[in-house]
Chain A
Amino acid sequence: KNEVEQSPQNLTAQEGEFITINCSYSVGISALHWLQQHPGGGIVSLFMLSSGKKKHGRLIATINIQEKHSSLHITASHPRDSAVYICAVRSWGGGGADGLTFGKGTHLIIQP
């Protein structure tokens, strides 16, 4: 069974700070997703990674397959980045019927 652990669970930072959210998993995966959930509830897919690094605007996602670890970075953070960030992994033959195992999420608050 794949376990997905995110850290930290909660993070409060000042506007402009560099933010790092971590995700660790226990078994081999075919892909890792980073999702963003705003207070209204809707979830948006930010990145899908199977190796290396991806960048979109101020967001950067990296994955280390050997260490079974991924990080999501936010540069020049802004209050509108305040959200819950969820890591989800697609295991080889594991996970639920959708093939995904979700982390509990990291609740990020950026203060002005």
Chain B
Amino acid sequence: ETGVTQTPRHLVMGMTNKKSLKCEQHLGHNAMYWYKQSAKKPLELMFVYSLEERVENNSVPSRFSPECPNSSHLFLHLHTLQPEDSALYLCASSQEYRDLVRSPLHFGNGTRLTVT
């Protein structure tokens, strides 16, 4: 049990579908993150929320839409994705935003997304 739970674990969707990824953290952390992990590439930061406010959007296409209704929940809404968006999407949390010296990241198990 990592303290960060992601659902679903696997998702297959067509290019015209709309789906959402869910992340929940039970650690009382103030910051939550979405990362994309593609094969043979380093982890890429997509979005950061601190105290439910979006802090950064790392030039992510608008077909990815994050939502953070409270400090424990984070969603990633997906629509009209492309096959190259197939990847592992990881959610993480930390006690404070950018204070990763004293508050390391805690990751979920990820959602394996396949776009057909």
Residues on A facing B (Cβ under 8 Å): 4, 30-31, 33, 35, 40-45, 48, 50, 86, 88, 90, 96-105
- Name the interface size band of chain B: 20 to 34
Quick one: which of B58-81 are within 8 Å of A by CB? Answer: 58
Which chain B residues border A48 with CB–CB below 8 Å?
101, 104
Question: A53 CB to closest chain B CB, in angstroms?
Answer: 17
- Prevailing SS type, chain B contact patch: loop
| Residue of A with least CB distance to B31 | A98
The distance in angstroms between the C-alpha atoms of A103 and B43, with both chains bound, is 8
Whether A99 pairs with B98 at a CB distance below 8 angstroms is yes
Name the residue of chain A whose CB is nearest to the CB of B106. Answer: A45
CB of A111 to closest CB in B, whole Å? 23
Mark B residues whose CB is within 8 Å of A.
2, 9, 33, 40-43, 45, 48, 55-56, 58, 88, 90, 92, 98, 100-101, 104-110, 112
Q: When chains A and B are docked, how far (Å) is the Cα of A76 from the Cα of B62?
A: 48
Contact in complex: B42, A4 (CB < 8 Å): yes
A29 to B69, CA, bound (A): 34
Q: How far is the CA of A72 from the CA of B29 in the complex (A)?
A: 28
Contacting A33 at CB < 8 Å: which of B90, B104, B109, B110? B104
Q: Do residues B107 and A31 form an inter-chain contact, with CB atoms below 8 A?
A: no
